[in-house]
Structure 1
Amino acid sequence: MALKSSFRSSSFSRNPSMKDNISSFLIHSHNFTTSTSKKELSCSFKNSLDQASLAKFLKENCRSGKFTLNEALYCFDYMIDSQPISPISSFNILFGALAKKKHYYDVISLYNRLNSTGLSLDFGSLKIFINCLCNIKRVFEAHAVFGKILKQGFSPDAVTFTSLIKGLCVERKIMESMELFDKMAVVGCRPDVITCNILIDGLCKAGRINVALKFHEEMTKGNEESGVFCKPDVVTYTTIIDGLCKAGLVKKARELYLEMKGLGISPNEVTYTTLIHCLFSLGDWENGKSLFIAMMDQGVQPSVVTFNVIIDQLCKKGQLDEANKLLEMMIQIGVDPNVYTYKILINGYCLVGRIGDARELFDSIARKGYGLDVVCYNTLINWYCKNKMANKALILYREMISKGIRSNVITYNTLLGGLFLRAEVKHAWKLVDEMQLNGVLPNPRTYSIFIDGLCKNGCALEAVEMVNTIVTNKFALSLESMNSLIDGLFKAGRFETAWELFQKFSQHENLMPDIVTYNILINGLCKNGELEKANELFLYMEEKGCAPDTLTFNTLMSSFLKSNEIPKVFELLHKMADRNLKPTECTMSLVMRSLLKDKKYHKYLNRLPQFPVEKPL
């Protein structure tokens, strides 16, 4: 069968590269201010804008955040076209309000338009501009604006430095952020607790947890020599506790939790949730549960995130009834569940096989006013596919498409796996074409699933053709795919093709054979009666630093026993003992039966090696 479209001639060959697509998207998605007409913008206001309504907008709407982007853009046009032009302070209020709503690209575009008018920008304007640039990872440009601040004779304050330090931390330029922090003291600018917290967060995210702990210690002691004058607050402790938890240092995290309480700093909902999640992740259910009770006793209201963490843990433990009781409790105390709460419960029901309850909850989400998304659908589709109900999975997929919910590569990978599990190869090919029509690009996992599915359904030659297409188009091929293909070729009786494929791809650095590869090859060679070649491969894999496992030894020994090559079996048994490996009971039974057939079995029994004794559970 000739490979069709993306799989048969690679979907990527007919589409721009992903990098080009992303670049194109960024260019077009950030050109906000030129794509909307003034007429469209003005319709957001009930009446034509005048100075009085502008003043009201700046004073009330901008400070409260109750405005749309279109309204802000229309105000800017009115302000810049006014005669005389509005004062810079008015523009600063507008820019600041837009920045708070994270319209960073718009602020930058408007800033450039304002700059072209010749109106002198003040310190406030430049600070807002720096903040916006740092938030979109354009720190280099932000430093240029910082230079402009110094050139114009302004003295940078803690807010300016904090924006730059935050930008450097986001870009993982931790050394530069620490150097900038040190410069604050040199120019006589005292960092505040917000600056320190941002630096600690950056250190933790960069894996510099020890440096973060030292910095925290300096804050606690008030080390003026290092330029640290402020004391840690609840955000400081929560940030570093989160960093410690993510680094697996839960003991130290709990020490800091007790320390902050000792200093009279009350942990907040985020502090408790961080520690509870960490304890659950480490399997410490009891301490996590105790901390939740302590949280409630201290009068700290758990958030929906806190409840989601605990409900998720209960679902993973299979305790769905307890999870539902907690759901009822959160509603009773006034915490509304969100769509993630229901996703967790749906997944929990699927994990224990309660698909009826999962579907009922799934259907109830829409009735409750929550929007179903692709994750909700994928959860149920995955369960149906794993349980060989691909037909029901496809019905759910069609429903999702009909509701305008965009499927993703996970959706298609799951469906393909389910179709191959039911040997519906033709339907899988059709789904690939549909995947392309919906603009979803395959990923390496897609190719692995398809190659494995073809091989397991007797289509090894089609799988070879697909691999050739992937290689020709210079896409990454996973070792998992290669292992599936080699296994499929052996099972199809294509021994020479499998061996050639192994020799060809074992030369690639990214496709170095692993224990799975060698076990497939050794098993295939043994079944084909090529014991010497299998044994040579066994020695070769050891030379290449790939240690054989119990399966490798058992496969070889079983084959040597069938051909009555007892010395070879004993050689392998001793090698196993040297590696603290133990043959399976089935293999040892075969060994003993073969030995008892030999007249000299007593001599062989004395040569049997001692294997490690498994400790009882």
Structure 2
Amino acid sequence: MAYKTFLRRFSSSSETVTKTKLSSSFTNSCKVTTTVPQDSVHNVEEVARLDQFLQKNCKQGNITLDEARYFFRLMIHMQPKPPILSFNRLFGALAKKKFYEDVISLYKRVCSIGLLPDLFTLNILINCCCNVGRVCDGFVVFGRIVRWGFNPDAVTFNSLIKGLCLENRSLDAMRLFKKMAVFGVRPDIVSYGSIIDGVCKDGLVDRAKEVFLEMKSRGIKPNVVVCTSLIYGLCFVGNLEEAVVVCLLRWRIKKTIAEMKIYNVAPDSFTYNILIDGLCKNGRVLEAAKWFRTLEYYEFKLSIEIYSSLIDGLCENGMIECWEIFDKLPQKGLKPDVMTYTILINGFCKEGKLRKDMIVI
């Protein structure tokens, strides 16, 4: 695999990347079929439209795929051709709109007309490869970055790390994360966030804690995404056994929430939903209800997911008070979804207390 080759080859800064060919799926990308009238390339009005498209539309993300293809064809027929920076703007806008495969195809066309990509171009390409599940192709592009004399940066590594985590290969991502120092690249908040999220989803909470502490030691303040990922991981491990629940949910999660306040990182609705859901699933419903009442007291904007998690916890523990919470939803401007109704009906059925006058559907 390309990523394993990378990890072996770059164990020190003096080693080089061996030459690797792109996979057939990468080299045989579909061709762009949109055509532009040949006489339009000399039309002043068309050039002005192109300039507005690149300077305004691409920057604002206000583009369509057909527009991008049209102006791309216009650009490659111009004489002289626009600099690679102009193509980068187009590629970047397409990537933000998640047209990843199209970026890969258009990149091939750029290379075929003799334009040389820069680091920004290749970073966009790596990001697109990783987002479509082609991490190995991403490492091939990384090899090009090194061979062509560019210095990979945090953006380069972040895309590869995220790609590995998306494929549930968090240990490989961790090894790559540690290799950043070989290239003199310091991890940023995105690097740490991707690693913490990846290892937590794989249940490797101890690794996540190590990375979290390393991040703080380097003076990088955790954001809400990092803390939410860590809380998710702690809840995930807490499902394993009661002893772990006591150690992690009672102490570590509360400590994490406290750290969020210290660093002035406001927990969002998703953060609290994970916390309440984790407590309920581990039988700590009273503690979850305490958090819930605290959020209500401070008029925190609660989502229907938080209410559903608490109702589920109450139902699973035979506490029919969940009906009272359900009645509050209209007052909070919330509309129960299918999951909420299903949880409530299941709870009453288990208790044998479902009556005709309680039908809510």
TM range (shorter): 0.7 to 0.9
* Contact in 2 for aligned 1:49/1:78 (Cα 8 Å): no
Letter in 1 for 2:200: C
* Contact in 1 for aligned 2:308/2:343 (Cα 8 Å): no
User: Could you list the runs of 5+ residues in structure 1 that have no partner in the other structure?
Assistant: 1-26, 40-47, 223-228, 362-617
Letter in 1 for 2:342: N
* Contact in 2 for aligned 1:137/1:171 (Cα 8 Å): yes
Q: 1:230 aligns with which of 220, 226, 232?
A: 220
Task: Note closer, same or farther for the CA distance 1:110–1:49 as it changes in structure 2 (3 Å cut).
Answer: farther
Match of 1:326 in 2: 328
Find the aligned partners of 1:49 and 1:346 in 2 and give their Cα distance. 58
Please list, as runs of the form range in 1=range in 2, the aligned pairs for 1:562-601 lying within 5 A after superposition. Answer: none
* Contact in 2 for aligned 1:279/1:288 (Cα 8 Å): yes
Letter in 2 for 1:113: R
Task: Note closer, same or farther for the CA distance 1:56–1:326 as it changes in structure 2 (3 Å cut).
Answer: farther
Match of 2:285 in 1: 285
Please list, as runs of the form range in 1=range in 2, the aligned pairs for 1:495-510 lying within 5 A after superposition. Answer: none
Q: 2:230 aligns with which of 240, 243, 262?
A: 240
Match of 1:347 in 2: 342
Letter in 2 for 1:130: I
Deviations 1:174-230 (A, max 9, x none): 3332232222223221111110111111111222211111221222233xxxxxx52
Secondary structure at 1:50 match in 2: helix
Find the aligned partners of 2:96 and 2:308 in 1 and give their Cα distance. 28
Deviations 1:524-568 (A, max 9, x none): xxxxxxxxxxxxxxxxxxxxxxxxxxxxxxxxxxxxxxxxxxxxx
Find the aligned partners of 1:360 and 1:38 in 2 and give their Cα distance. 57
How many residue pairs get aligned? The number is 311
Find the aligned partners of 1:151 and 1:358 in 2 and give their Cα distance. 70
* Contact in 1 for aligned 2:75/2:81 (Cα 8 Å): yes
Task: Note closer, same or farther for the CA distance 1:277–1:193 as it changes in structure 2 (3 Å cut).
Answer: same
> 1:359 Cα deviation (Å)?
8.9
Find the aligned partners of 1:356 and 1:31 in 2 and give their Cα distance. 60
* Contact in 1 for aligned 2:88/2:120 (Cα 8 Å): yes
Match of 2:144 in 1: 148
Match of 2:174 in 1: 178
Letter in 1 for 2:282: L
> 1:350 Cα deviation (Å)?
4.6
Residue 249 (structure 2) pairs with residue 250 (structure 1): yes
Q: 2:77 aligns with which of 75, 81, 86?
A: 81
Residue 153 (structure 2) pairs with residue 157 (structure 1): yes
Letter in 2 for 1:236: V
Task: Note closer, same or farther for the CA distance 1:37–1:156 as it changes in structure 2 (3 Å cut).
Answer: closer
Find the aligned partners of 2:199 and 2:213 in 1 and give their Cα distance. 14
Find the aligned partners of 1:75 and 1:281 in 2 and give their Cα distance. 53
Find the aligned partners of 2:59 and 2:78 in 1 and give their Cα distance. 22
Secondary structure at 1:207 match in 2: coil
Match of 1:270 in 2: 270
Match of 1:168 in 2: 164
> 1:111 Cα deviation (Å)?
1.4
Match of 2:18 in 1: none
Task: Note closer, same or farther for the CA distance 1:296–1:348 as it changes in structure 2 (3 Å cut).
Answer: closer
* Contact in 2 for aligned 1:349/1:355 (Cα 8 Å): no
> 1:282 Cα deviation (Å)?
2.1
Find the aligned partners of 1:264 and 1:280 in 2 and give their Cα distance. 27
* Contact in 2 for aligned 1:350/1:358 (Cα 8 Å): no
> 1:328 Cα deviation (Å)?
0.8
Task: Note closer, same or farther for the CA distance 1:270–1:38 as it changes in structure 2 (3 Å cut).
Answer: same
Find the aligned partners of 2:249 and 2:200 in 1 and give their Cα distance. 14
> 1:144 Cα deviation (Å)?
1.3
* Contact in 1 for aligned 2:34/2:70 (Cα 8 Å): no
Please list, as runs of the form range in 1=range in 2, the aligned pairs for 1:41-52 lying within 5 A after superposition. Answer: 50-52=46-48
Task: Note closer, same or farther for the CA distance 1:318–1:51 as it changes in structure 2 (3 Å cut).
Answer: farther
User: Could you list the runs of 5+ residues in structure 2 that have no partner in the other structure?
Assistant: 1-24, 37-43, 239-247
Task: Note closer, same or farther for the CA distance 1:212–1:320 as it changes in structure 2 (3 Å cut).
Answer: closer
* Contact in 2 for aligned 1:314/1:322 (Cα 8 Å): no
Find the aligned partners of 2:112 and 2:158 in 1 and give their Cα distance. 28
Find the aligned partners of 1:99 and 1:169 in 2 and give their Cα distance. 19
Letter in 2 for 1:280: C
Secondary structure at 1:121 match in 2: coil
Could you state the TM-score of these two structures normalised by the residue count of structure 1?
0.45
Deviations 1:305-324 (A, max 9, x none): 43443455567666674354
Find the aligned partners of 2:320 and 2:87 in 1 and give their Cα distance. 56
Find the aligned partners of 2:208 and 2:326 in 1 and give their Cα distance. 40
Letter in 1 for 2:94: L
- Answer with 178-187 or 193-202: which moved more: 178-187
Match of 1:61 in 2: 57
Task: Note closer, same or farther for the CA distance 1:62–1:297 as it changes in structure 2 (3 Å cut).
Answer: farther
Task: Note closer, same or farther for the CA distance 1:301–1:320 as it changes in structure 2 (3 Å cut).
Answer: closer
Find the aligned partners of 1:196 and 1:97 in 2 and give their Cα distance. 25
**Cα RMSD (Å):** 3.2
Letter in 2 for 1:71: E
Please list, as runs of the form range in 1=range in 2, the aligned pairs for 1:126-525 lying within 5 A after superposition. Answer: 126-222=122-218, 230-248=220-238, 249-251=248-250, 252-298=252-298, 300-310=300-310, 313=313, 321-331=323-333, 337=335, 341-348=336-343, 350-351=345-346, 352=348, 361=361
> 1:242 Cα deviation (Å)?
0.8
* Contact in 1 for aligned 2:34/2:73 (Cα 8 Å): no
Deviations 1:93-151 (A, max 9, x none): 12112211222112112212222221111111100001111122212111111111112
Task: Note closer, same or farther for the CA distance 1:56–1:298 as it changes in structure 2 (3 Å cut).
Answer: farther
Residue 87 (structure 2) pairs with residue 91 (structure 1): yes
Letter in 2 for 1:250: L
> 1:160 Cα deviation (Å)?
0.8
Task: Note closer, same or farther for the CA distance 1:167–1:147 as it changes in structure 2 (3 Å cut).
Answer: same
